[in-house]
């Protein structure tokens, strides 16, 4: 998957988080990761170990067991992290549903990606 910009990547990222429960798991992971980051700064540096463990743990759980797809982090780690923070901010302010509706109204080319269907994986290449 070749994306030229974060703006081009964002619709793909949102599509990979199509289910509300997936987005909630991401929100919980990001919130927990941020709380551990703050705690490590205020109390003890070794709490920093838990930031990626919880941040990615909850998110990856949601991809494999809720949405049934591969985390975008595997192919685009930095853009995925930035989009996760954007999604977190939109959810925190109650604007994520509006963003989803906005993106659904425009045609989005979904790049080749692997989608999990229980124990099988197959290639999905579609135009939305």
Confirm whether 83 is domain-assigned.
yes
Confirm whether 106 is domain-assigned.
yes
- Bigger pLDDT: 122 or 72? 72
| Residue tagged 């992971």 (tokens) | 29
- Domain count across the chain: 1
Structure tokens at 23: 């987005």
Confirm whether 1 is domain-assigned.
no
Confirm whether 108 is domain-assigned.
yes
Structural domain range at position 35? 6-124
In this prediction, residue 111 has a pLDDT band, given cuts at 50, 70 and 90, of very low
In this prediction, residue 107 has a pLDDT band, given cuts at 50, 70 and 90, of low
Confirm whether 89 is domain-assigned.
yes
Tens digit of pLDDT for each residue in 48-65?
Answer: 999 999 999 999 999 999
- Bigger pLDDT: 126 or 10? 10
Tens digit of pLDDT for each residue in 93-105?
Answer: 999 999 999 988 7
Contacts for 128 with CB less than 8 Å, ≥ 6 apart: 15, 107, 108, 109, 110
Q: What is the DSSP letter of 67?
A: I
């Amino acid at each position: 998957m070749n994306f030229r910009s974060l703006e081009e990547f964002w619709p793909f990222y949102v599509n990979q988080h199509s289910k509300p429960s997936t987005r909630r798991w991401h929100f919980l992971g990001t919130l927990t990761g941020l709380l551990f980051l703050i705690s490590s700064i205020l109390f003890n540096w070794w709490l920093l170990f838990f930031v990626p463990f919880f941040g990615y743990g909850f998110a990856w759980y949601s991809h494999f067991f809720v949405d049934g797809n591969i985390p975008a982090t595997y192919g685009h780690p930095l853009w995925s992290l930035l989009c996760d923070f954007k999604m977190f901010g939109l959810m925190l302010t109650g604007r994520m549903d509006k963003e989803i509706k906005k993106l659904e109204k425009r045609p989005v080319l979904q790049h080749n990606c692997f989608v999990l269907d229980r124990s099988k994986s197959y290639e999905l290449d579609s135009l939305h």
